[in-house]
Homo-oligomer: A and B are copies of this chain.
Amino acid sequence: MTFSPIMTNDLTAIIPAFAGGTLDRADQVRVDPVRLKEAMMRPSARLLKLDGLNPVLDEMGDLAWGPLYEASPDNDLLLLGMDGDTPCFAELSGAGSATSIPDPRLWQSLSMLSPDQAGIYATARSLVDWHARHGYCSNCGQITVSRKGGWSRSCVREEGGCGAEHFPRTDPVAIMLAECQGKILLGRQPRFPPKRFSALAGFIEPGESIEGGVARELWEEAGIKVRNVRYVASQPWPFPSSLMMACTSETDDPTLTLDEEEVEEAAWFSLDEVIAAMNGEPDALFIAPPPFAIAHDLLKYWINEQGG
């Protein structure tokens, strides 16, 4: 899979996991019923294998694909995109997740996937899940149907609906470091595994900028006021469909007031302490976030910025 609209000669760029998808999303095929049908009929067309929402890996640890005819005739198809001349689909199986916390067994599969594979999986997982939870029109309550190769759902006017068109949802989330006197703030959510600390995070709300959301979250969750909010990198996070935006910020006063519903523990960590955790040293003060989480890239970025 070699298509990419982005020229990757920028050696300083951070490409977090899930952010490396290289299928041509082929929006001009999605919206054209004739071209979409033609893509489905192509003998090379292939189907991403999923186990519910989880990936199926082949013996090489890559995403497993089958022929398109393996899809159930009852399910709509999602056009993931084109791999050269090969149309790549996933099946809208109705699999949805009740929670945003994925199956712990999934983490191991994810750590085996290459960046472009993880990007394809992220797209498929978010969309299969979105369709499963959007069978009805939020505007009028009538049934919706998949349209545009799975990139929208329509409420059907001919069947008494209001005709509204609904698009897949992507929720922007800020994930951030605050720096104070050479140390950074990390915290634990109650659901984290033991000893894991990571960057604080929260959804951007309507009427907020990314920078405003970073400042609000740090105020709400940790009671600190920050300045110099800086964007670092972003990552799609398909649990179920977030866009993680990693930022740094600064403060002068390290006094913490925690919102213990959201953050059960938080502390300021020095460069040496962060390096020890990122290196997985046995006496490290905490366990760092896993490599496929953008918090990991953010900590690496911060270490580099310190000349560490």
Contacts and interface: CB of A to CB of B under 8 A. Distances in A.
A50 to B, nearest CB: 14
B28 A215 contact: no
B236 A208 contact: yes
A261 to B, nearest CB: 8
Interface in A204-224: 204-212, 215-216, 218-220
A268 to B, nearest CB: 18
Interface residues of A, number: 76
A53 to B, nearest CB: 13
A21 B141 contact: no
A143 B137 CA distance: 11
A149 interface: no
B126 A134 contact: no
B133 A206 contact: no
Interface string A182-215: 0000000000000000000001111111111001
For the complex formed by this chain, how many copies does it contain in all? 2
Interface string A8-40: 111001011011010001011000000000000
Given A227-B9, A229-B6, A170 B134 contact: no
A235 B209 contact: yes
A140 to B, nearest CB: 6
Contact of A7 (B134, B226, B241): B226
A122 interface: yes
Contacts of A234: 209-211, 231
Interface in A147-194: 151, 164, 166-172
Nearest to A18: B207
Interface string A103-122: 00000000000000001101
13 contacts: A7-B225, A7-B227, A19-B211, A119-B212, A120-B207, A123-B205, A123-B206, A126-B207, A133-B138, A169-B171, A207-B236, A208-B236, A210-B243
Interface of A: 4-10, 13, 15-16, 18-19, 21, 25, 27-28, 119-120, 122-124, 126-127, 130, 133-144, 151, 164, 166-172, 203-212, 215-216, 218-220, 225-229, 231, 233-236, 238, 241, 243, 245, 251, 259
What are the 4 tightest A-B residue pairs by CB atom distance, in nearest-first order? A123-B207, A5-B219, A136-B141, A126-B206
